[in-house]
């Protein structure tokens, strides 16, 4: 691999980072892309940076645009230097007229290029464009010979050369030979994604260089090309046993003392169930402990977030002034996915953040396609874990009474813990229910708990004891008589542990046909009771729950359940 001493640095920090230091010295680089993708802007950035940063003269030879138009387009860019142009340290040659003269063939073009490079002691050369030259040569045999002769001549000059190529789609060259004389290929593309113009840069090949092969988003700005390189996160991070509080006592109780530091936590629920408030609790607890915190909001403005927090007694503006809190707010569509990721990364590293809230993933998912959304969650989750930053992500479920969205985009597998917030219809009234659906590497409560949103924030209450169907959104009360009968059967069939197991299953909300059938099958499989006793236990449960046949899956056949 080449060392940095053997590189022609572009002067663009992100591009040089992707290239591991710059173009190889003396290389021929094919810059391919359709019209408007940024080829000229990037080429001139490299050329002017050569003079301003590295004291290297450069030449730009155009076969496409008039000289006055080229200069006019450059004047608004920060890297443009009128002094460099007037002194001909950056020499701009309009070859369109000469090229149109009768009898000027490929050989003469090569002679002119060689002459100008030597005369100006140029270390950087741009030919814009190889496509225009080849088009005017017309004959395919002449085109191929010219391109190969060009490659030989450029190699002998020792200067680094950028050839622009006008291509449409995913190709790199028009005539199929340009890429073979090139030491490197950079492809620029632009396309509409969800009504947003997206520009990307990809290093396709670069001889002797270890480069980043990903497709990277970029913008054309007044300072030139601004690239947003993809985060690269190895699957390697620390995993400790220290727990941190979520900020809601009831949630901490349900997770057996909080969540592991560095874990990722998904708070899922319908609109209005308190997802954002949970995030505020989490941030407020971190601030109370003196931990730097970051809140990345994609739905509400900073002022609205501060107002909402103030309504629960938390003065977030005070912590902003102390430098402990940063609230970053923007609409997802305002930036590329990688821009959002880099913004969060930069702030996390600058503040040494310990807690991050992203509110919400649903907004990100609505603004980008599924592939980009999954990449965002995967990379951000991996990055935060690598820094041992504890995170809370909020996401909206599709309907008021469902949880099916949790499987979308594999959110349930990407995060460590899942807290569900849900509406439940009970006795003609809407109630709020919470449950911990998953904790990775730890125990958690299986109970379905009531909660309310008060002036102090979220307050978690008792479990839904004596009810079934709570997760479906429509809870049904089991009569006290049925519960007492089930309790007695647990005592009679299991012995002293029956009371404990009954209370546990009641708190979990699993005193129902499905829960009991699975539990009895478990007792038999583990040898705690024999199969005969298990069948007797099941038959008694069938009788209590209405006479149907209680299967191992918990479904009652032949008779619809009746309850008092």
pLDDT given for residue 315 in this prediction = 98
Question: Are the CB atoms for 553 and 517 separated by under 8 Å?
Answer: yes
Is 243-463 the same fold as 4-228? yes
Nearest by Cα to 282 from 522, 37, 544, 457: 457
pLDDT given for residue 526 in this prediction = 84
Burial class (CB in 10 A: 0-12, 13-18, 19+), 232: exposed
Q: What is the DSSP letter of 478?
A: P
Give the start-to-end residue ranges of the domains of the chain. Answer: 4-228, 243-463, 478-557
Question: Residue 562: which pLDDT band, with cuts at 50, 70 and 90?
Answer: very low
Between strands 476-477 and 457-463, the pairing is: unpaired
- Cα–Cα distance list, 520 to 124, 137, 153, 501, 547 (Å): 79, 85, 84, 12, 17
Is the model more confident about 190 or about 467? Answer: 190
Question: Are the CB atoms for 106 and 38 separated by under 8 Å?
Answer: no
With 50 as the cut, is the pLDDT of residue 224 above it? yes
pLDDT given for residue 97 in this prediction = 67
Question: Residue 239: which pLDDT band, with cuts at 50, 70 and 90?
Answer: confident
pLDDT tens digits along 310-352: 999 999 999 999 999 999 999 999 999 999 999 999 999 999 9
Nearest by Cα to 452 from 462, 440, 438: 462
- Cα–Cα distance list, 247 to 270, 287, 351, 488 (Å): 21, 10, 21, 39
> In the chain, what percentage of residues exceed pLDDT 90?
53
Please state the rounded mean pLDDT for residues 236-246: 89
Please state the rounded mean pLDDT for residues 220-233: 92
With 50 as the cut, is the pLDDT of residue 535 above it? yes
Question: Residue 558: which pLDDT band, with cuts at 50, 70 and 90?
Answer: very low
pLDDT given for residue 551 in this prediction = 45
Question: Are the CB atoms for 55 and 22 separated by under 8 Å?
Answer: no
pLDDT given for residue 303 in this prediction = 98
Is the model more confident about 554 or about 464? Answer: 464
Question: Among 206-210, 373-377, 557-561, which is the least confidently predicted range?
Answer: 557-561
Question: Among 27-41, 447-461, 506-520, which is the least confidently predicted range?
Answer: 506-520
| DSSP codes of every residue in 155-203 | HHH--EEEEEEE--TT-S-SSS-GGGS-SEEEEEEEEEETTEEEEEEEE
With 50 as the cut, is the pLDDT of residue 15 above it? yes
pLDDT given for residue 147 in this prediction = 80
Between strands 325-329 and 355-359, the pairing is: unpaired
Fold of 4-228: Rossmann fold (3.40.50)
pLDDT tens digits along 428-441: 788 999 999 999 99
pLDDT tens digits along 472-489: 766 677 666 778 888 888
| DSSP codes of every residue in 415-445 | SSEEEEEEEEEETTEEEEEEEEEEETTS---
Is the model more confident about 548 or about 162? Answer: 162
Question: Among 7-11, 29-33, 98-102, 529-533, which is the least confidently predicted range?
Answer: 98-102
Question: Among 48-52, 250-254, 548-552, which is the least confidently predicted range?
Answer: 548-552
**129 upstream amide cis, omega within 30 of 0:** yes
Please state the rounded mean pLDDT for residues 502-528: 87
Q: What is the DSSP letter of 526?
A: T
CATH of domain 243-463: 3.40.50.300
Q: Rounded to whole angstroms, how far apart are CA atoms 219 and 43?
A: 15
Mean pLDDT, the chain, rounded, equals 86
Q: What are phi and psi of 144, to 5 degrees?
A: -65, -45
């Amino acid at each position: 691999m080449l060392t940095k001493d053997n590189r022609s640095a572009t002067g663009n920090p992100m591009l040089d980072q992707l290239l591991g230091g710059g173009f190889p010295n003396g290389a021929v680089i094919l810059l391919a892309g359709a019209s408007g993708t940024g080829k000229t802007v990037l080429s001139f950035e490299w050329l002017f940076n050569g003079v301003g940063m590295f004291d290297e003269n450069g030449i730009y030879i155009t076969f496409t645009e008039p000289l006055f138009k080229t200069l006019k387009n450059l004047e608004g860019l920060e890297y443009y230097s009128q002094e460099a142009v007037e002194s001909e340290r950056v020499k701009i040659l309009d070859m369109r007229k000469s090229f149109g003269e009768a009898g000027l063939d490929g050989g003469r073009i090569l002679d002119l290029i060689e002459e100008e490079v030597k005369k100006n002691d140029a270390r950087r050369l741009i030919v814009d464009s190889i496509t225009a030259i080849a088009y005017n040569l017309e004959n395919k045999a002449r085109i191929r010979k010219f391109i190969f002769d060009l490659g030989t001549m450029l190699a002998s000059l020792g200067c680094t050369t950028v050839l622009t190529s006008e291509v449409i789609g995913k190709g790199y060259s028009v005539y199929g030979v340009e890429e073979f004389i090139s030491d490197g290929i950079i492809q620029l593309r632009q396309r509409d994604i969800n009504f947003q113009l997206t520009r990307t840069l990809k290093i396709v090949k670069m001889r002797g260089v270890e480069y980043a092969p990903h497709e990277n988003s970029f913008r054309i700005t007044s300072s030139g090309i601004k690239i947003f390189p993809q985060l690269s996160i190895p699957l390697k991070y620390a995993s400790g046993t220290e727990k941190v509080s979520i900020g809601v006592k009831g949630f901490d109780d349900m997770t057996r003392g909080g969540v592991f530091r560095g874990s990722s936590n998904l708070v899922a629920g319908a609109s209005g169930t308190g997802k954002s408030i949970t995030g505020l609790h989490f941030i407020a607890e971190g601030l109370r402990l003196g931990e730097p915190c970051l809140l990345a909001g994609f739905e509400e403005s900073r002022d609205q977030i501060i107002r909402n927090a103030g309504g629960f007694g938390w003065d977030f503006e005070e912590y902003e002034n102390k430098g402990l809190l940063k609230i970053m707010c923007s609409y997802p569509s305002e930036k590329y996915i990688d821009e959002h990721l880099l913004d969060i990364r930069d702030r996390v590293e600058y503040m040494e953040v310990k807690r991050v809230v992203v509110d919400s993933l649903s907004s990100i998912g609505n603004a980008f396609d599924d592939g980009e959304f999954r990449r965002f969650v995967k990379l951000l989750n991996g990055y935060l874990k690598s820094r041992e930053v504890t995170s809370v992500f909020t996401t909206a479920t599709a309907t008021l009474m469902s949880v099916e969205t949790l499987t979308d985009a594999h959110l349930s597998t990407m995060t460590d813990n899942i807290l569900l917030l849900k509406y439940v219809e009970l006795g003609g009234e809407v109630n709020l229910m919470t449950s911990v659906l998953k904790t990775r590497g730890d125990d958690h409560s299986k109970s379905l708990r009531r909660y309310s949103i008060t002036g102090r924030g979220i307050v978690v209450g008792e479990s839904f004891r004596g009810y079934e169907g709570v997760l479906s959104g429509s809870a049904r009360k089991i009569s006290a008589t049925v519960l007492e009968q089930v309790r007695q059967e647990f005592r009679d069939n299991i012995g002293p542990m029956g009371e404990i197991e009954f209370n546990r299953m009641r708190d979990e909300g699993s005193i129902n046909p499905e829960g009991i059938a699975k539990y009895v099958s478990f007792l038999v499989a583990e040898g705690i009771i024999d199969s005969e006793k298990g069948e007797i236990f099941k038959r008694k449960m069938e009788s209590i729950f209405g006479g149907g046949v209680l299967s191992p899956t918990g479904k009652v056949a032949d008779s619809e359940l009746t309850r008092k």
